Amino acid sequence: MTLLVLLLVFLVTAVYLVFFCNLCDSKKPDKFKEKRFENFLLKNIDLSVGTAETQGKKNTLSPLERLKQEVFQYSSSNISTKRVLVAYGTEYGFSREVAKKIAEQLSQHFGKDHISVRLLNLLHWEIVDWKREELILVACSTTGDGVLPNEAKDFYDGLKEKFKEGELQNLNFAVLALGDRGYPHFCRAGKLLEELLKKITGREAFVVRGEVDQEDWPVIEEWIDSVLGCLDNHDLLTCMENGDYLEASLEMKVGTNSVNGCIGSTFPNVGYSKETPFLAKILEKRLLTKYEFPDDKEVLHIELDLSSSGIQYIPGDALAVLPKNCPRQVQRLLVALGATGEEELSNSDNSPISLKDMLTYNLDIKNVKPELLMYLRQCAYSDNDLKLLDDLLDVEKGGLSKKNGVLRGYLASREVYDVLAEFSSASVDLQKFVEHLRPLSPRYYSISSSSLVNSNRVSITVAVVRYELLGLDRVGVATTYLADRVDVGSKIPVFLSKNDNFRLPSAGSTPVIMIGPGTGVAPFRAFLLERERMGSTGRNVLFFGCRHKDRDFLYAEELQAFVDRGFLDLFVAFSRDQAKKIYVQDIMLEQSAFLWSLLEQGAHVYVCGDGTKMANDVHEAWIRIVSCQKPDCSREEALEFMDALERNSRYQRDVWIT
């Protein structure tokens, strides 16, 4: 009886505690929620600063085990199979997804006992003994203004340095280049990789390079079919009787050198990354604009503490921020799913995670993958939903491919929530549903400070995104994370993204021409601070543009101070301060003779900002300036002149398409 009473008291207390704690949680201040985010990160990603106790609580696998799991998930234990390496270079995760698809199809086509497929992030290229490999398939995206993803840069430089022409004569290869036709250098990284592989193997690719515009799956599948067809018809592989060296190499290079078992720390040249970010404390956050009316721009200057990180940056680099989704948007999605959020799901490495955490920290809940519609087609039952889905996915119109304009148009104006709400008859399996979402990717911000001024601090300039779509409020994930959900004192996960294609000239006497409207001015603030500190004597010319002089002129006072010190020639275009709109390209044309004279003195030209319109308009302005100012110069010659400037790293662009 006493035992029964005790049990009852215990149960009542437990229920009370659970209820009370939940109640408190919903009222906890943001600081507390931030702490939860930090704890979550410590448990779920391999922080170089972490300790053994802070890791592996939720993720029971060590970083080494996780890496092994990824590399060998399509491998057989049969020691005399043929071996293929499927490698990927990714910035935002899509190439990894594609590489997994390639690995899966190879494995299915030939059977796991006949072919052992190893999946490798190019970040880990050093664990491979390249002379023992016979076949590599590379899926690699292009980022920045036609450059390799950060994690693939060392692979490219390393192979180039290590192997002479034709040295890897036993290696067959094929490249799938991923990109976006909207950018001037379509699929350039894949092309560069293919050139390099041609050189060091002394042979041609065994399959024509695939070029993928955005997420055009039919093109990807066609390329995979060509690879499979070629492997069916040509015996490119021999059986390796001695087993796979790769596992031992991986254990040796990653296992023994690691600090606190963190993979990132074994590659000192890479340092912090998506998997191993640094938690940087916010030291300052201030509004750079007047933000009173819905039409006003909201731009923030954010300073972060890098002391103790060892991160060393130079102007031109970017800081990557790992955001989390907005709780309101997550809640909206949970309601559409009819879920509480507490449902337990499996992470990609099979560790358990709640649906709410998965949607908050791991997944992109804005951009809809076309495959999600395919999945909804399987679980919808209302005639209306089925008809609309069939229409969107119509094979005649191009199915999931890029050619399907109806589907692309539909997805361009919808988020994951909208699609679920629209096809409400679909009864989704939560695990399958999350598997049809993209991973949440880091966001990159040009660094707007100079480490010569203060090496412990870094600043970024962030335009906050808020808008309405289909009658609902929408937000930019990372920009509102920085604006609304973290404050001075909070710590946010970041890592450095080097950008060797956007660098100041080595000689301080060389003039620089900078064109950066809006937040495109960020790297130029860094350039100016750096050049002033270095005592550079070359002329600094900046073209800045915004809507209104008195509302969104970023860093106006600082820029004016540079002008007053005689260090800067500043030209500004306020597009909406007069009846006729004026943009940076217009004021550049007014300065044609001056700009030409600077080019003749060897000036370097930099453009930063919107790549959809501004970068093209500015390029066109340069063509006009050159063809008018250079004696007897045709348009074609002006185009060639600008191309030559670009080849000689005197015309560098850091642009983005939204």
Residues 423 and 373: their CA atoms lie apart, in Å, by 9
Contact set with ligand FMN (CB under 6 A)? 90-95, 141-146, 149, 178-180, 183, 185-188, 214, 656
User: Least separation, in Å, of the C-beta of 92 and ligand FMN?
Assistant: 3
Q: Which lies closer to ligand FMN via its Cβ, residue 168 or residue 368?
A: 368
Minimum distance, C-beta of residue 182 to ligand FMN, in the bound complex (Å): 8
Q: At 447, phi and psi to the nearest 5? A: -75, 135
**CA dist., res. 119 & res. 67, Å (int):** 10
Please identify, using beta-carbon distances, which residue of 595 and 605 lies nearer to ligand FMN: 605
What are the tokens at 79? Answer: 């020691």
**Nearest to residue 212, comparing CAs of 189, 179, 240?**
179
Report the candidate in 360, 358, 316, 355 with the shortest Cα–Cα distance to residue 337.
355
- We find the least distance from the C-beta atom of residue 101 to ligand FMN, in angstroms, to be 12
- In whole angstroms, the minimum distance from the beta carbon of 187 to ligand FMN comes to 5
Q: Which helix (H) or strand (E) holds 136?
A: strand 135-141
Q: In what order do the strands lie in the sheet with 540-546?
A: 569-574, 540-546, 512-515, 604-610, 651-656
CB of 476 to ligand FMN, least distance (A): 14
- In whole angstroms, how close is the CB of 145 to ligand FMN at the nearest point? 5
Smallest gap, in angstroms, from Cβ of residue 657 to ligand FMN? Answer: 7
Question: Which region, left, alpha or beta, applies to residue 417 given φ > 0 means left and ψ of -120 to 50 means alpha?
Answer: alpha
The minimum distance between CB 652 and ligand FMN, in angstroms, equals: 13
Tokens of 240: 């390796």
d(CA 580, CA 585): 14
Q: Shortest distance, CB of residue 286 to ligand FMN, whole angstroms?
A: 26
- As measured in angstroms, the least distance from the Cβ of 535 to ligand FMN is 33
* Minimum gap (Å) between residue 645 Cβ and ligand FMN: 18
Nearer to ligand FMN, 145 or 385 (CB): 145
Instruction: Tell me the residue length of the chain.
Output: 658
Q: Which is nearer to ligand FMN, 145 or 244 (CB)?
A: 145
As a whole number of angstroms, the distance between CA 474 and CA 417 comes to 11
Single-letter residue type at 33:
K
Nearest-CB residue for ligand FMN: 179
Which CB sits closer to ligand FMN, 66 or 443?
443
| 179 vs 538, beta carbon nearer ligand FMN | 179
For residues 34 and 211, which CB has a smaller minimum distance to ligand FMN in the complex? Answer: 211
Tokens matching residue 15: 């229920």
- Whichever of 261 and 316 has its CB closer to ligand FMN, that residue is 316
**HEC profile of 231-298:** HHHCCCCCCCCCCCCHHHHHHHHHHCCCECCEHHHHCCCCCCCCCCCEEEEEEEEEECCCCCCCCCCC
Which residue number, 188 or 604, has a Cβ lying nearer to ligand FMN?
188
Burial status of residue 616 (CB atoms within 10 A of its CB: 0-12, 13-18, 19 or more)? middle
b or e along 418-433 (b: 16 or more beta carbons within 10 Å of the residue's beta carbon)? bbbbbbeebebeeeeb
Between the alpha carbon of residue 591 and those of residues 122, 223, 513, the distances in Å are 45, 49, 12
Nearer to ligand FMN, 318 or 333 (CB): 318
Closest alpha carbon to 98 in 275, 278, 219: 219
Helix (H, G, I), strand (E, B) or coil at 368: coil
**Comparison of 255 and 517: residue with beta carbon closer to ligand FMN:** 517
